[in-house]
Structures are given as C-alpha cells and as structure tokens.
C-alpha cells in the first residue's frame, strides 16, 4: 500500500506536468488526445503478452521491476528536459514507455493482491487499492499544477525518479505467494493466448464483461481524455485551475473507493454493477459535455470519477472471482487488451472534436457507447448473474 500511494502520487504529478507541457505547445484537441493515446496504446498491443508473464513468473517480482523501469524512465526524461529536448515527439515517446510499465504494474499488483487476500475480502482490497490510486490522483494532480508554477520540470522529474527508486527498494523481500506452477513444459505464447481466449469465450459472463470493458474504454472516458482541452479551451483555466480539473476525477473516485473499502461491503454481483456503472457513466458524460466553467466542470468530472470507480472495481472483481488461478493472468491480459481501446477512442474523439466541437463530440461518443452497452446487456443475461452461479469452472 505504501508503494502504491507513493508511486501513484508522483505518477499523477507526472501526468499533469506532461499534459501541461503538451497544451503549451499546441492548440489542437487531436494533439492533446495523442498524449492519452500514447500512454495507453501499449495496453492494446501487449495486453495478452502481460497475461502470459503473470501466469509464469512471480507477480510481486514483476511489480517490483516495473518500479525500477519507471525510475530509469523518469530520470531519462528529466535529462531530456534539462537539455531542452521537450518537443512533442519526445513527450509522446516518454508517455508511451511509462504507459507500458504502468500496464504491467497494475496487472501484477492486482493479481498478487488477489492471492494474498482471497475471494471474500477481494472487494475490500480492491477498494483500498482504488483509495491509494485516487487519493494520489487528487493530491498528485494538484501538486503537478503547483509544480509548473514554482519548479523547473527537470527538478520535478528528478524527484519522481527518486520516489520510484525508493519503491523498488521497499518491495524487496515480499513473498511470492501463489505463483502458478504449470505442469510440464511451458506452452508456446500462441497456444497460451489461444487457451485463454477459449476459456473466456466459454464463460459468457467473463466474455460479456470484457466486451463492456472494451466499449466503455472506447466511448466512455471522453471526460478524462479531453479534460485538458476543456480546461484550456472552454474553462480558460490557468495552471492552478488546470491542476484542479485534472484532480477532479481522483477526488470523486476516492469517495466511492472509501465507501466500498471502509464499509467492508462484499460485492456478490459485480457483473450487474458493471453494466449499470458503464451505462450511468455514458449518461453522465452527456451532462459533462455542457459544462462551461471550472467549478461546474470540476463537480461533473468528480461525479464521473465516483461512477468510474464502481466500473473499475467490478470488472476486476468479475475476472478475478470467475477465473481459476492458472488462467487468471491471461484473462487479465485480455482485460488489459480491452482497456487498450481507450487511446483509440481518445484519438478518435480528438479528431471528432476538431471537426464538430468538443461538446458535440463527447455527446456523440456517449450516445454510441450507451447503445452498444444496451446490446451487450440484452445479448448476455449471464452478466447479471451472481459470480458463484456464472460458470462451473469458477474456483
């Protein structure tokens, strides 16, 4: 938890500073959307590969190595900033590398955590994980907005690198816990991925959950990817207001995460909550598209953050509770793949926003996503069934 809080805090400081560096260099919504695109595109390309890694190697060791990778990457970026190499291609390349490491970190940490706490406490544990994520999101984003006023980005990224290096050292010595031990020689990557897909396809609730994750990540996060453009073009916010808008989702998400984790509530039907949260997020995104000021925009994004946390917790719970340990990494790899549709949606939204305006583009995407989610709900009634009743293979 300590490594999570520290890592997330400097990561969101990093996100805010890098987004500010981009909006200072361009007036294009498309270019702003690209920073999210490059941050998450590795998820689409490498998701299934991460699943194989998690089913073969110690998950906590993988998690630890991501911290070392981030320490090296942020140190390199600080050197680039110090030498004046802060062009858009450099920022995008750095963002893509950090996104790849974040993808591996999230999957490794949650797979490891599920082995530590067991199924009964998983909802509370995921809630605590989201608490650490979103408390750091709120504090780190506001800190990033302050940093650009008072500190040279080179100094800020040097500090970020030191925090990741400390995390690497702190995580030494944690036990491997439940590392899967496949019988016989390891399968080829192709056969391993194919077996994971067949398992998911044979379990309608899991497959439908993955579809919901894909649809919502493509169409449902316009409020997140376009927040920098709204802050600059519609709200006319300065650095402090920019940091406030970037932190709003974290504050809302923190509220929901605290409610779930501190209340010790056990979620027995994550699939039903998943589809409800995704559809509610689409409706709320339409409301966000009409905001015109920092204050109202902050409230709208905070509410969307509350909803998106329910979505994030329930789709992870659905997969972890419905999948046996020897398939868990691969199914989480497909989950990451579906989450990887987010940058494609962000890029498409940026293009659409340049063509028809930001507000109209957000409304169009939200309505399209709502329609597709309705089709999934009708096609896969198993998604609404409590986890223990979804598939005979649940363990």
State pLDDT tens for residues 313-323.
888 888 888 88
Burial class (CB in 10 A: 0-12, 13-18, 19+), 121: middle
Is the pLDDT score of 193 beyond 80? yes
CB neighbours of 206 closer than 8 A, spacing ≥ 6? Answer: 199, 200, 318, 319, 322, 323, 331, 390, 391
CA angle, 347 then 350 then 355, to 5°? 130
Confidence of residue 263 (pLDDT cuts 50, 70, 90): low
Give Rg (Cα) of the chain: 20
Q: Which of 332, 311, 322 is nearest to 107 (CA)?
A: 332
CA 126 to CA 131: how far, in whole Å?
Answer: 8
Q: Which pLDDT score is estimated for 374?
A: 95
Q: Which pLDDT score is estimated for 392?
A: 37
CA 55 to CA 39: how far, in whole Å?
Answer: 24
Q: Which pLDDT score is estimated for 93?
A: 92
Is the pLDDT score of 347 beyond 60? yes
Q: Which pLDDT score is estimated for 239?
A: 66
Q: Which range among 160-169, 191-200, 245-254, 350-359 has the greatest average pLDDT?
A: 160-169
Is the pLDDT score of 279 beyond 90? yes
Burial class (CB in 10 A: 0-12, 13-18, 19+), 263: exposed
Q: Which pLDDT score is estimated for 129?
A: 79
Confidence of residue 187 (pLDDT cuts 50, 70, 90): low
Query: pLDDT, tens digit, for every residue of 24-82?
Result: 787 776 777 687 778 878 877 777 788 788 877 888 889 999 999 999 999 999 999 88
Which CATH number describes the domain made up of 2-171+189-389? 1.20.1250.20
CB neighbours of 213 closer than 8 A, spacing ≥ 6? Answer: 315, 335, 338, 339
DSSP for 112-166 reads HHHHHH-STTHHHHHHHHHHHHHHHHHHHHHHHHHHHHHS-HHHHHHHHHHHHHH
Confidence of residue 180 (pLDDT cuts 50, 70, 90): low
Q: Specify the higher pLDDT residue, 349 or 386.
A: 349
CA 187 to CA 330: how far, in whole Å?
Answer: 12
Q: Which pLDDT score is estimated for 84?
A: 83
The number of angstroms, rounded, from the C-alpha of 20 to the middle of its chain's C-alpha atoms is 20
* Residue percentage of the chain with pLDDT more than 70: 90
CB neighbours of 348 closer than 8 A, spacing ≥ 6? Answer: 218, 365
Mean pLDDT across the chain: 82
Query: pLDDT, tens digit, for every residue of 296-306?
Result: 988 999 899 88
């Amino acid at each position: 938890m300590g490594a999570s809080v520290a890592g997330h805090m400097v990561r969101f400081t990093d996100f805010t500073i890098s987004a500010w560096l981009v909006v200072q260099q361009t007036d294009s919504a498309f270019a702003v959307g690209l920073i999210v695109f490059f941050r998450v595109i590795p998820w689409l390309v490498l998701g299934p590969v991460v699943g194989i890694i998690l089913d073969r190697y110690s998950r906590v060791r993988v998690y630890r190595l991501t911290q070392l990778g981030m320490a090296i990457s942020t140190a390199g970026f600080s050197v680039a900033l110090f030498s004046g190499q802060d062009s858009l291609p450099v920022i995008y390349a750095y963002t893509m590398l950090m996104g790849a490491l974040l993808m591996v970190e999230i999957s490794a940490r949650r797979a490891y955590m599920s082995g530590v706490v067991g199924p009964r406490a998983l909802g509370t544990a995921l809630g605590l994980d989201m608490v650490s994520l979103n408390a750091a999101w709120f504090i780190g984003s506001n800190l990033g907005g302050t940093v650009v006023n008072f500190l040279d980005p080179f100094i800020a990224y040097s500090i970020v690198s030191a925090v990741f290096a400390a995390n690497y050292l702190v995580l030494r010595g944690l036990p491997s816990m439940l590392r899967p031990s496949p019988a016989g020689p390891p399968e080829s990557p192709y056969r391993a991925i194919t077996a994971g897909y067949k398992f998911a396809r044979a379990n309608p609730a899991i497959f439908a959950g993955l579809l919901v994750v894909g649809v919502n990540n493509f169409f449902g996060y316009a409020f997140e990817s376009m927040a920098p453009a709204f802050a600059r073009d519609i709200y006319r916010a300065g650095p402090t207001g920019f940091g406030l808008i970037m932190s709003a989702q974290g504050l809302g998400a923190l509220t929901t995460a605290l409610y779930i984790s501190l209340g010790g509530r056990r979620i027995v039907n994550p699939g039903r909550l998943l589809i409800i949260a995704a559809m509610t997020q689409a409706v709320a995104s339409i409301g966000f598209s009409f905001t015109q000021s920092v204050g109202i925009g902050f409230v709208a994004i905070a509410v969307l953050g509350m909803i998106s946390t329910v979505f994030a917790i329930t789709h992870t719970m659905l997969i972890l509770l419905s999948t046996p340990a020897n398939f868990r990494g691969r199914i989480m790899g497909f989950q990451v793949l579906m989450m990887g549709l987010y940058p494609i949606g962000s890029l498409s939204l940026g293009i659409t926003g340049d063509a028809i305006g930001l507000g109209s583009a957000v409304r169009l995407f939200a309505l399209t996503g709502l329609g597709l989610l309705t089709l999934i709900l009708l096609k896969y009634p198993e998604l609404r069934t409590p986890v223990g009743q979804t598939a005979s293979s649940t363990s």
